Amino acid sequence: MAKYLVIVESPAKSKTITKFLGKNYKVQASIGHVRDLPKSKMGIDMENDFDPQYITIRGKGSVIKELKSAAKKVDKVFLATDPDREGEAIAWHLANILGIDIDEKCRVTFHEITKDAIKEAVKNPRAINMDLVDAQQGRRILDRLVGYSISPLLWRKIRKGLSAGRVQSVATKLICDREKLIDAFIPEEYWTIDAELKKAKHRKKIVSTLHSYNGKKLEIKNEKEVNDILKEIKDYPFVVSDIKTRGKSRTAPLPFTTSSLQQEAANKLGFSTKKTMSVAQQLYEGVDIKKNGTVGLITYMRTDSTRISDEARNHGIAYIEENYGQEYLGVKKKAKKESKNAQDAHEAVRPTVIHFKPEEIESSLNKDQFKLYKLIWERFMSSLMSNAKFETKTVSFDLNAYEFRLSGTTMVFDGFLKVYTYASTKDTELPELEVGEELELKEILPLQHFTQPPGRYTEASLVKEMEEKGIGRPSTYAPTISTIISRGYVEREKKALKPTELGNLINDIMENYFNNIVDVSFTADLEHKLDNVEDSNYHWKELIREFYGPFKALLDHAEGDIEKVDLVEETDIECDKCGNMMVIKYGRFGKFLACSNYPECKNTKAILKEIGVKCPKCEVGEVVERKTKKFRTFYGCSEFPDCNFMSWNKPTNQKCPECGEILYEKRTKKMHSLICDNCDYKKELSED
């Protein structure tokens, strides 16, 4: 019979750890939290200094019963939940339920699920860290006060199902503010002048660009200025006046934090933040590797530190020396915190077993696991490698004080790029040229441009912005983005995040009545104070007291001042079931048509966005844009269900030159083209 009980959070982790500990240990899972605030009410005793009223989570009764039964049969219980605030709070709740003294050394933590790490952790248990627990309680109570106070107000004034949150509302505001900048943007005209040149016996096209006049950077604002310049240079030959060569290096990247992992996985793999964290969790908790059993392949994935252990560094260095050579070893880089708010409790996200090269264990991983593991493995290895070295060459042509420039870059040593295949590189090698050499002018190319508005946030750039501004923590980035999308406040348009009408409406209310809640600096300051609670410099109830007084005043003002918003719009469309007029209502997925005779008639219809193309299948209906439940865009027929035409690619009015069928516009991460579904015809399109 086992002498010790080890409680972890997930069954997957339990399965992995069981293989590392002997027969004296029994490992069971709590399956996440076992106690929390009630869902049906605020659950905070306002009259008794904000005491939380925790209850057993619905459905967890059987889990708790099993844990209590197992605990009675062993000499000691170890609480091995995740090594962060949330994990510490779960351990504290478990200790309360199982009657374990919080001063008892029962808490074990590890940042990687490997045999050595688990055995070392069990040998060195500690008491529960109440500062970490209090920081989690402070965050939970703050979020509950905001969410459970403002959300019912929105229900009463607008409609049921809406919500506000301390972090989600700030994220929504960032996206709404960016959209306002885009809408207010006024494009400005500017021009560039390129010269297409030819060197004798050299086949490749050479393009040089006008750079400066009398040594000063040139800005060309209109076509008249272009024509004036062309007159001044028309009689001058393109003779090489100067060649400058200099060395340049590209610094090896630091290993991943949660934020940088989410950004790189979004940019390079096309993963959402939610998907990245889900797959990373699988890699952390353990995957069955052929001939090796279940192995936790990466360290804990919620971290904002780039620090790595000496042991991991030494293993990595040995691997580089053996497989790539001494010249690929980098200078030891000091780990830096990714932001002023970073907590250095954990290592960076890195592989736990260096010699598990991604390609060698690919058959043991599913497609997504392999992609993410490869990204993490390559990033960690490259962080220990030398910088990549390049030679840049700038060739100048002097035409009546107008300087045209031609630049090229050649890699002279690949360094970390030998391993990090996700880094983008582009060699632009120039032909051999000499000062005084004349090149033939093939064509002068004046090009008109217009300045572009700032781009919408993607999930990657929003995570980066939230991290830089101190909004939320590594564990909150993914769920925050998922929440604002699922609530219908934000929608994905290709990869970009765009506010919906509902999102703008909610944001306006939050800005007008709860400005502090959506203020970036105020939110960042709260995060800083929660960190101080963790560091024993602040009591969590003092933080709540300071927050709640001003917040309650805002809440009372909003309750009396906000007028009820009617989201119903009248139309002249007749209901095809009862003959009454349809009205426009707003639901989770945006606007829709509903019968004005509701609830007697419950007829509803989607408001369809036509794209100006007849259905290629029935040739009667119009092709309309639709959304899946996960907000992915597809195209269907307006006559559905009579016509079931559907396509992920956008139909066009163009015909295939080879077979005469309709062409579709297809966009992928690397391609934008017109394709034919009936034959192999394909035409690449520019992004314009």
Is the Cβ–Cβ distance between 28 and 9 less than 8 Å? Answer: no
Residue 198's pLDDT is 92
Residue 8's pLDDT is 94
Cα-to-chain-centroid distance, residue 81? 25
How confident is residue 246, by pLDDT bands cut at 50, 70 and 90?
very high
Residue 666's pLDDT is 87
Mean pLDDT of 152-169: 86
Distance CA 170, CA 143 (A): 13
Q: Which helix (H) or strand (E) covers residue 439, if one does?
A: strand 438-450
Write the pLDDT tens digit of every residue in 638-671. Answer: 888 889 999 999 999 999 988 888 999 988 766 7
- Higher-confidence residue: 570 or 184? 184
User: Rounded mean pLDDT of the chain?
Assistant: 90
Residue 686's pLDDT is 61
Q: How many CA atoms lie within 13 A of 368 on its CB side?
A: 15
Distance CA 93, CA 136 (A): 12
Amino acid at 397: F
Mean pLDDT of 159-178: 90
Is the Cβ–Cβ distance between 9 and 81 less than 8 Å? Answer: yes
Distance CA 449, CA 455 (A): 17
Mean pLDDT of 112-132: 93
Mean pLDDT of 604-633: 83
Residue 342's pLDDT is 43
Amino acid at 51: D
Bridge-based pairing state of the strands 622-627 and 609-614: antiparallel
How confident is residue 337, by pLDDT bands cut at 50, 70 and 90?
very low
How confident is residue 688, by pLDDT bands cut at 50, 70 and 90?
very low
Write the pLDDT tens digit of every residue in 263-317. Answer: 999 999 999 999 999 999 999 999 999 988 889 999 999 998 999 999 999 999 9
Residue 284's pLDDT is 94
How confident is residue 478, by pLDDT bands cut at 50, 70 and 90?
very high
Residue 652's pLDDT is 92
Q: Which residues are catalytic?
A: 300
- Higher-confidence residue: 572 or 389? 389
Residue 434's pLDDT is 93
Strand locations in 74-147, DSSP E? 76-79
Residue with tokens 């794209």: 611
Mean pLDDT of 110-130: 93
Mean pLDDT of 169-175: 96
Domains of the chain and CATH, by start: 4-128 (3.40.50.140), 138-184+455-561 (1.10.460.10), 189-251+388-450 (2.70.20.10), 258-383 (1.10.290.10), 566-606 (no CATH)
Q: Which helix (H) or strand (E) covers residue 247, if one does?
A: strand 238-250
Distance CA 568, CA 35 (A): 41
Mean pLDDT of 561-570: 78
> Residue 338 pLDDT > 80, yes or no?
no
Residue 426's pLDDT is 79
Tokens at 219, concatenated: 């800005």
Distance CA 95, CA 646 (A): 55
How confident is residue 589, by pLDDT bands cut at 50, 70 and 90?
low
> Residue 487 pLDDT > 50, yes or no?
yes
Residue 332's pLDDT is 63
Residue with tokens 């993490």: 376
Residue 568's pLDDT is 75
- Please give, one letter per residue, the 3-state secondary structure of 127-159: CCCHHHHHHHHHHHHHHHHHHHHHHHHHHHHCC
Residue 343's pLDDT is 44
Q: What are phi and psi of 665, to 5 degrees?
A: -90, 125
Residue 588's pLDDT is 60
Tokens at 54, concatenated: 């925790």
Which SS3 state, helix, strand or coil, does residue 21 take? Answer: coil
Note the pTM of the prediction, 2 decimals.
0.82
Write the pLDDT tens digit of every residue in 403-461. Answer: 999 999 999 999 999 999 998 877 788 889 999 999 999 999 999 999 999 999 999 99
Q: How many CA atoms lie within 13 A of 598 on its CB side?
A: 12
- Identify the sign of the CA torsion 496, 502, 506, 511: positive
On the question of a cis peptide bond just before residue 187, with omega within 30 degrees of 0, the verdict is no
> Residue 393 pLDDT > 80, yes or no?
yes
Residue 482's pLDDT is 92
Residue 536's pLDDT is 83
